[in-house]
């Protein structure tokens, strides 16, 4: 409330200062409420930080909680003529591979035309494209006005007929229409027939015989190879069904047998474990920051204001202690029961995890399935990462302990706001009442002073008259 500068004129008292002092004294009752509001607001923000930290760790935990990581393999070839990629199910070992023929896509080429924009037909026509794989033939309609090489090319490409048409300029005033099958292999070779216009028939018909008008400039053929001396023929140069879990990618023929070696790949699993350890330590750092405690140095000193907003918080302590208890899997069906057995140890002072990459690689190389059994378990109820995943999901859920704690703080803040507003209103009313009383005092004192002055004047006048 602003200072009332007119108070005290009638009474001669410094009522404005008195009113200001009373107001200051009354407002002191708001300080404890404001302090609590600040504390609970900081706690609400801290719960948000805790949720974010748990979510980040959850991401790394989900990445590690994958059985496929521990069955990862890699393939190397002694020849640049082929490479291979592996998936789950690939068996480690060596395979002999010999590639004698690559798969190719058929290309048909028309005779030379003098223009690529001049209409060739005099009537509307239909170009029918039939592939050897038995798929339904595709009919491409071409109007007489749009029967130039460019118009035919565009109509075929819009029809999704399994071939791609293009125009090749072979010289000035010399153009050819080229059609190439979208996929390699003999099953994707095409025949072309035209109805409706004799000119286009004479340019585009192709049935694979000597009477064809188009030329097969590239013949369709299948890839031919042997794997462990077993003959394989495939319409594609990418062969995924010859060896389980292995896709062969052919780029050239080989000179005799070459070797494909499939070995266990520990890189992916090692990287996932390393990321998980780093994420766990980041979460521990967040715990430490939110529960930071600085001891007071003297008996009269107040508590350090830099302490963590969740110092002593039961929700955080519960999460921290439960998480720590999940770092072992005594029920594992393998010989691995603790993370320390694969090179992940706990610092007793900080609670952080330390990773010995050499020990981890050795464990993954020796028994990847055993490591998987300890870490992932059955992926439903057992395994370190599986158990952690279940608990984090529960903690972060709309009915979890974090949401309950957040709701509790929000409710307290709402109550404090209500309490603050009520107290502020009471103070305003009290000061207003004081002001009214002080104003009345001013008026009354002013009247009394006026009466006193009048009586004094009268007494003085009367005394002077008596003396005369």
Q: Which two tokens stand for residue 282?
A: 């980041």
Q: 154 pLDDT exceeds 90?
A: yes
CB 116 within 8 A of CB 175: yes
* 301-354 pLDDT per residue, tens: 445 567 888 888 899 999 999 999 999 999 888 999 999 999 999 998 888 999
Q: What is the mean pLDDT of the chain?
A: 88
Query: What pLDDT is stored for residue 300 in this prediction?
Result: 44
In the chain, the percentage of residues whose pLDDT exceeds 90 is: 61
Contact indicator for 435, 8 with CB cutoff of 8 Å: no
Residue 1 has pLDDT above 60, yes or no: no
147 Rama sector, left if φ>0, alpha if ψ -120 to 50, beta otherwise: alpha
Q: What share of the chain is helix, strand, coil (3-state, %, to 5)?
A: 45, 20, 30
> Once rounded to an integer, what is the mean pLDDT over residues 425-439?
82
Please write the tens of the pLDDT for every residue from 61-86. Answer: 999 999 888 888 889 999 999 999 99
C-alpha 27/C-alpha 87 separation (Å) is: 72
- Under a CB-based contact definition with an 8 Å cutoff, are residues 343 and 360 in contact? yes
Bridge pairing between strands 215-218 and 223-227: unpaired
Residue 381 token pair: 């109820």
Instruction: Give tens-digit pLDDT for 277-313.
Output: 999 999 999 999 999 888 765 554 445 567 888 888 8
Q: What is the pLDDT of residue 95?
A: 94
| HSE-up of residue 120 (Cα within 13 Å, Cβ side) | 29
Dist CA 174 CA 189 (whole Å) = 26
pLDDT for 465 equals: 67
Tokens coding 192: 């072309």
CA–CA distance, 154 with 56 (Å, rounded to integer): 51
Residues 136 and 304: their CA atoms lie apart, in Å, by 81
When computed from its CA atoms, the radius of gyration of the chain, rounded to whole angstroms, is: 45
pLDDT at 32: 84
Tell me what percent of the residues of the chain surpass a pLDDT of 70.
Answer: 94
Q: How is residue 245 written in tokens?
A: 């879990």
CB atoms within 10 A of CB 121: 23
CB atoms within 10 A of CB 182: 13
pTM here is: 0.67
- Binning pLDDT at 50, 70 and 90, where does residue 141 land? very high
The per-residue pLDDT for range 82-134, each reduced to its tens digit, is: 999 998 778 888 999 999 999 999 999 999 999 999 999 999 999 999 999 88
Q: Where are the beta strands (DSSP E) in 219-357?
A: 223-227, 230-234, 238-243, 246-250, 258-264, 344-346, 353-355
Name the residue with tokens 């015989």: 209
Query: Comparing C-alpha atoms, which of 46, 51, 38, 161 is closest to residue 108?
Result: 161
Q: Specify the DSSP class assigned to residue 377.
A: T
* Closest to 99 (Cα-Cα) out of 258, 230, 225, 241: 225
380-417 burial code (b ≥16 CB/10 A, e <16): eebbbbbbbbebbeebbeeebbbeebbeebeebbeebe
pLDDT digits (tens, 9 = 90+) for 173-226: 999 999 999 999 999 999 999 999 999 999 999 998 888 999 999 999 999 999
Question: 10 Å Cβ neighbour count for 74?
Answer: 17
pLDDT band at 5 (very low <50, low <70, confident <90, very high): very low
pLDDT for res 13: 67
Burial annotation 358-371 (CB, 10 A radius, 16+ → b, else e): eebbebbeebbebb
Q: Given this model, what pLDDT does residue 284 score?
A: 94
């Amino acid at each position: 409330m602003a200072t009332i500068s007119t108070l005290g004129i009638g009474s001669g008292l410094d009522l404005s200062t008195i009113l200001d002092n009373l107001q200051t004294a009354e407002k002191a009752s708001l300080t404890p409420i404001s302090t609590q509001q600040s504390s609970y607001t900081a706690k609400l923000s801290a719960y948000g930080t805790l949720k974010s930290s748990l979510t980040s760790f959850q991401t790394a935990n989900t990445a590690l909680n994958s059985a496929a990581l521990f069955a990862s393999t890699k393939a190397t070839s002694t020849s640049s003529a082929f490479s291979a990629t592996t998936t789950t199910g690939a068996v480690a070992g060596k395979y002999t591979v010999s590639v004698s023929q690559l798969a190719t896509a058929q290309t048909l080429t028309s005779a030379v035309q003098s223009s690529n924009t001049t209409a060739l037909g005099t009537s509307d026509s239909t170009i029918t494209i039939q592939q050897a794989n038995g798929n339904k033939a595709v009919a491409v309609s071409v109007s007489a006005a749009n029967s130039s090489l460019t118009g035919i090319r565009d109509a075929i490409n819009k029809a999704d007929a399994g071939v791609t048409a293009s125009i090749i300029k072979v010289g000035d005033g010399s153009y050819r229409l080229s059609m190439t099958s979208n996929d390699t292999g003999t099953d994707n070779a095409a025949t072309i027939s035209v109805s409706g216009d004799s000119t286009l028939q004479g340019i585009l018909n192709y049935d694979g015989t000597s009477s064809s008008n188009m030329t097969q400039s590239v013949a369709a053929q299948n890839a031919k190879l042997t794997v462990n001396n077993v003959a394989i023929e495939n319409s594609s140069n990418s062969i995924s069904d010859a060896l389980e879990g292995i896709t062969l990618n052919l780029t050239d023929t080989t000179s005799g047998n070459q070797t494909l070696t499939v070995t266990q790949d520990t890189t992916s699993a090692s990287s996932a474990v390393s990321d998980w350890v780093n994420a766990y330590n980041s979460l521990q750092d967040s715990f430490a920051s939110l529960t930071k405690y600085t001891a007071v140095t003297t008996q009269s000193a107040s508590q350090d204001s830099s302490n963590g907003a969740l110092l002593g918080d039961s929700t955080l302590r519960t999460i921290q202690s439960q998480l720590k208890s999940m770092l072992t899997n005594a029920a594992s069906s393998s010989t691995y029961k603790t993370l320390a057995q694969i090179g992940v140890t706990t610092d007793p002072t900080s609670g952080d995890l330390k990773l010995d990459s050499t020990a981890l690689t050795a464990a993954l190389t020796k028994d990847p399935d055993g490591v998987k059994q300890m870490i992932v378990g059955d992926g439903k109820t057992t395994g370190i990462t599986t158990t952690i995943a279940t608990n984090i999901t529960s903690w972060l859920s709309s009915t979890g302990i974090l949401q309950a704690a957040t709701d509790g703080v929000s409710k307290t803040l709402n109550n404090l706001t209500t309490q603050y507003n009520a107290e502020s209103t009471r103070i305003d009313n009290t000061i207003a009442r004081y002001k009214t009383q002080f104003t009345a005092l001013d008026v009354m004192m002013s009247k009394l002073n006026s009466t006193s002055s009048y009586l004094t004047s009268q007494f003085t006048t009367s005394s002077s008259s008596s003396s005369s």
